[in-house]
Structure 1
Amino acid sequence: MTQKLALITGASRGLGAALAEALAPTHHIVAVARTTGALEELDDRIKVAGGSATLAPMDITVPEAMATLCRGIHDRWGQLDLWLHSAIHAAPLSPASSVAVKDWTKSIAVNATAPSVLIPYIAPLLGQHGRAVFFDDPRAGEKFFGAYGASKAAQIALARSWQAETVKTGPQVKILSPQPMPTAIRARFFPGEDRSPLTDIHSEAARLLPEILAED
């Protein structure tokens, strides 16, 4: 395959889906998410626009599934040009004194542990010249955002360490900060919010794309 290859974890909806569509003209998309139906809808949109995708309905918190995914990428394509990690778990807002154990456990599993498993699997596929991109949402320390804020901060801290470690060796690691968008996750955090000032996900994907593809 001469076309570049982009892996998107969390590709079924929101920014991940918008970025998949934005990249499809130049990349074959490997789209990972748990929701098969949403992935199929994404695939339809990509095909209508003339692109192509491989759907991987998987749970990123299952290490064996992620190992299978990465081995499959290696066996079929041999390498990976781009990894965008937009998968996230948004636990219900709660005072720190009332965070449910199940919400804390799932937040850590999806937002922190899963990336720590994926990075060692994906780094060899990216090699020296590939690129990994994470998306920051700095909620750590905000009231009621205990589980989400702490687990997301852990993810970004891990990504920053990987970024510092690979400056000379590659792959290139980027951490970007999207504008507020009218996603389902944001609606869960801010019900009743006036969504008109928020940035459309496709407009935000178009804004972020040059940063994602730029050589630092």
Structure 2
Amino acid sequence: MNEQTKLALVTGASRGLGYAMALELGKRGYHIMALARSQGGLEELADALDAIGAPSTLVPLDLSDDMGVQRMCLAIHERWGKLDLLVHCAVHAAPLSPVSHVGEKDLDRSIAVNIRATQRLMGMAESLVRAASGTMVYFRDDMGGHKFQSTYGMSKAAQAALVETQIAESAEIGPRVLHLSPKPMATATRARFYPGEDRGKLASPADEAARLMAEILP
């Protein structure tokens, strides 16, 4: 792999928007580093990328594993010295529950993945993205005030605060940071929040990935 290779790290790449983003970037000439906990989903993605001639590296890793993320970023630094694009799609969606009944494990997992892991990934990847004059991409999902979605809504609101702060801090020194708003999509995560919803009225992750590329890769 030469220094001209465009490298994209996509988290949550085994399904949903992450999977679609990885495929769309593969079509556009990126080497995809696909991170997710699901080995099976990653292998399916690798097959799909291989079918379109897109190179990939699979990273079966829990994003809340600080040392694992640190080793991954060190490996990127040692092999490529930069990261052109970070697309952070990984998310933990806790079960629906009244706010007074949220389970301790669900609360802790939501904080660990949606808040803490996002901040750690920011810190570990930022210098790699800056070295490439690249872009860091995150996604909004405003669920605050929705019944039974307190844990997810709280953690995504905190994540949004992190992202908006990074945008302000990087405005003059880089890297470029984007906070995008996908349309409601027919994903497994949304199906958990809206059981019985007419999925025919929702956007497909593939269509949203293609649409959002106009903002990510202008």
Residues of 2 paired with 1:185 and 1:123: CA distance?
28
Matches within 5 A, 1:40-55: 40-55=43-58
Matched, 1:15 2:17: yes
Residues of 2 paired with 1:156 and 1:52: CA distance?
31
Residues of 1 paired with 2:97 and 2:139: CA distance?
23
Residues of 2 paired with 1:86 and 1:113: CA distance?
15
Q: Which amino acid aligns with 2:13?
A: A
Q: State the partner residue of 2:165.
A: 161
Residues of 2 paired with 1:150 and 1:38: CA distance?
28
Matched, 1:39 2:38: no
Q: State the partner residue of 1:198.
A: 202
Matches within 5 A, 1:132-143: 132-143=136-147
Residues of 1 paired with 2:43 and 2:199: CA distance?
27
Shift of 1:141: 2.1
Q: State the partner residue of 1:76.
A: 79
Select which of 88, 91, 95 maps to 1:92: 95
Output one character per residue of 1:32-61: Cα deviation in whole Å (capped at 9) or x when no partner.
Answer: 000011001000000101111000000100
Residues of 1 paired with 2:198 and 2:146: CA distance?
21
Q: State the partner residue of 1:120.
A: 123
Q: Which amino acid aligns with 1:173?
A: V
- SS where residue 91 of structure 1 aligns? coil
CA RMSD in angstroms comes to 0.8
TM-score (norm 2): 0.96
Shift of 1:3: 2.2
Q: Which amino acid aligns with 2:140?
A: D
TM-score (norm 1): 0.97
Runs of 4+ in 1 over 3 A off after TM superposition: none
Moved more, 139-148 or 36-45: 139-148
Q: State the partner residue of 1:56.
A: 59
Q: Aligned pair count?
A: 214
User: Where does structure 1 lack aligned partners over 5 or more consecutive residues?
Assistant: none
Matched, 1:149 2:139: no
Q: Which amino acid aligns with 1:175?
A: H
Q: Which amino acid aligns with 1:3?
A: T
Q: State the partner residue of 1:188.
A: 192
Q: State the partner residue of 2:135.
A: 131
Shift of 1:200: 1.0
- SS where residue 30 of structure 1 aligns? strand
- SS where residue 201 of structure 2 aligns? coil
Residues of 1 paired with 2:78 and 2:157: CA distance?
33
User: Where does structure 2 lack aligned partners over 5 or more consecutive residues?
Assistant: none
Residues of 2 paired with 1:137 and 1:37: CA distance?
26
